[in-house]
């Protein structure tokens, strides 16, 4: 299934994308899509609904983040061999972890740069959505704890991240820095999360073009590994890292985003996103 939330910010309704790619309204059956609706049992109940009985939404709508009330956003840094190489850093022997301290936004919402930001950068990532509580999960059963997968832009202000001391979280957590979606694709439709192509364009120029085959630590390993240090709960998100091609790694000189730029990104089978970058003073009102 492809589960979505659609409508104005703060007033999204649950829906799904049918076999013909059309949007159907789920709000008669579930009030929203939260961690409570991501268990295998809850997803099976949604899957059992006769899609033809769901109202067809034919007008153009905004897609919000496909999950409401997200719990933790846990990120894995330098998790692609090519990205570690472009950063000039050694391949990690254990996953490098940090937290992203902002709520997800819609996949096509504008991104407002923080005041005085000068080093805004892009990162297309595969996001794992947890559907079942787990602690000290056996790697052999790790995927049983996964509800599905999404596209994530792990948007970053590099000067905040690298030059302001401390953890990377500072550069990852400004409101709007986590576009998620357009939909949550349940794990039964993503048979091989380690073989997905992912890409990102800036102003029509391809900047990232990679594959999850180049992950240093794969999906089952990351789920099991993280559960050694913290409980994973339904609605938690794991951002799995980005391939080579970020602006900070561009040679001979880095490239950073500015007012008016446009980012387009996607992952095979998981949909696409488009965001326009706006200066802080041009941010949509009301802001997040």
pLDDT for res 132: 98
* pLDDT tens figures, 238-286: 999 999 999 999 999 999 999 999 999 999 999 999 999 999 999 998 8
Q: Which residues of the chain have pLDDT under 50?
A: none
Taking a C-beta distance cutoff of 8 angstroms, is the pair 256, 119 a contact? yes
pLDDT for res 281: 95
Which DSSP string corresponds to 201-250?
A: EETTEEEEEEEGGGBSS-HHHHHHHHTTTS-B-TT-EEE----S--GGG-
The pTM score is: 0.97
Q: What is the C-alpha separation between 38 and 25, in angstroms, rounded?
A: 17
Q: Is residue 65 exposed (0-12), middle (13-18) or buried (19+ Cβ within 10 Å)?
A: buried
Going along the chain from its start, the domains and CATH numbers come out as: 68-282 (3.90.850.10)
pLDDT for res 167: 78
Q: How far is CA 51 from the centre of its chain?
A: 26
């Amino acid at each position: 299934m492809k589960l979505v939330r659609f409508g104005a910010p703060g007033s999204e309704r649950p829906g799904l994308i049918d076999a013909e790619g059309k949007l159907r309204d789920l709000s008669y059956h579930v009030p929203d899509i939260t961690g409570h609706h991501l268990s295998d049992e809850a997803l099976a109940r949604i899957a059992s609904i006769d899609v033809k009985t769901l109202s067809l939404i034919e007008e153009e709508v905004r897609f919000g983040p496909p999950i409401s009330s997200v719990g933790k956003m846990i990120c894995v840094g330098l998790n692609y061999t090519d990205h570690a190489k472009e950063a000039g850093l050694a391949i990690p022997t254990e996953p490098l972890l940090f937290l992203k301290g902002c709520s997800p936004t819609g996949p096509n919402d504008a991104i407002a740069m923080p005041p005085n930001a000068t080093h805004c950068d892009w990162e297309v990532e595969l996001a794992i959505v947890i559907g079942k509580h787990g602690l000290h999960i056996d790697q052999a059963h790790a995927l049983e704890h996964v509800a599905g997968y999404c596209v994530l832009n792990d948007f970053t202000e590099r000067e905040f991240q690298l030059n302001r001391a401390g953890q990377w979280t500072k550069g990852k957590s400004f409101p709007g820095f986590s576009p998620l979606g357009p939909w949550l694709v349940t794990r039964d439709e993503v048979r091989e999360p380690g073989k997905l192509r992912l890409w990102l364009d800036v102003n029509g120029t391809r900047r990232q073009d990679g594959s999850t085959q180049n992950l240093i630590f794969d999906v089952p390993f990351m789920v099991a590994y993280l559960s050694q240090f913290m409980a994973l709960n339904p609605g938690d998100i794991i951002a799995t890292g980005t391939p080579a091609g970020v602006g900070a790694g561009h040679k001979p000189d880095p490239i950073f985003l500015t007012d008016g730029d446009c980012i387009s990104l996607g992952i095979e089978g998981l949909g696409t996103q488009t965001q326009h970058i706006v200066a802080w003073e041009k941010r949509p009102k009301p802001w997040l």
